[in-house]
A and B are shown apart, each in its own frame.
Chain A
């Protein structure tokens, strides 16, 4: 019996240790040693909110990443209404399509083509809210066209942009640049000088925004 309880103890030790280790890896905020360089040649991202906002949040996201979709659908509306529209936060979205997602690059390109017509954020919502549909489709291009139209983009111009792959190089350059910042997973958020690599609830995000505001006014 002693050996049996020893085996159970070993399993508990390994299992508990693995979960304890996982709880400390990636979810907690980390201070960024160097400010995020935005004065680079790469595209600095899509911006929503006031230039005079106290805090800027940079989101590195992949349109096909389920956790990014989770954040956009569940937390995004609150962020927009309670943080961005109130002038507290300026939101910057940067493309980080991951290689493991086969349709991510095309989705980012579709967002860029809608963005060309001033409809990036509308397309952003279309892509995240319909992620489960287009990510499993064999013909996502048709769906992207429908989403762009629903987002208010002019259809022919959007199709021309997609056909020419007008923004492909820009998206790839952004992705390469983001990778050099030490970011490896999505979504990742830079909230002032804090970096968090996981989807966040509104309450968790607000705590970090308050910390960033405190630091900004010091």
Chain B
């Protein structure tokens, strides 16, 4: 399994986490499975929306983009190309930066923790580290 496969698998998991939060925000799902309820506090705060859209939607789009790039990078035509690895690092670095901002809001402003957001933060960080490791190693085929 090369780094693009690992990233694809992590991005798919992250996609479902973000999808769950987005659908809950849209009112499609019932009570959120979140233990002590910090998820609702975070998700219903004014910071859970950006430019009129739920923050979770950006997560859905971001993870889908990473997933798509990693799958493209696994196709024979792109397997030995550096470009998909660079794209994955750029996308995941943007995700980490955005996640760091959201985590700061949870800790310092909202003062509540959303467990699903923490799961997402761990996933995007793992994706970024894997992308970085893959790029540094320089081996693009399995």
Contact = CB atoms under 8 A, between A and B. Distances in A.
B27 A7 contact: no
Interface string A177-210: 0000000010000000000011111001000000
Interface stretch (B33-41, B49-57, B81-89): B33-41
Given A15-B12, A18-B16, A22-B30, A4 B5 contact: yes
Interface residues of A, number: 32
Contacts, number: 75
Interface in B96-136: 111
Interface string A117-154: 00000000000000010001000000000000000000
B31 A26 contact: yes
Interface in B22-69: 23, 27-31, 33, 36-37, 40-41, 43-45
Interface of A: 1, 4, 7-8, 11-12, 15-16, 18-19, 22-23, 25-28, 65-67, 69-70, 100-101, 132, 136, 185, 197-201, 204
5 contacts: A1-B74, A18-B20, A23-B29, A66-B44, A197-B31
Give the 4 A-B CB pairs with smallest separation, nearest first: A26-B30, A15-B16, A27-B30, A66-B40
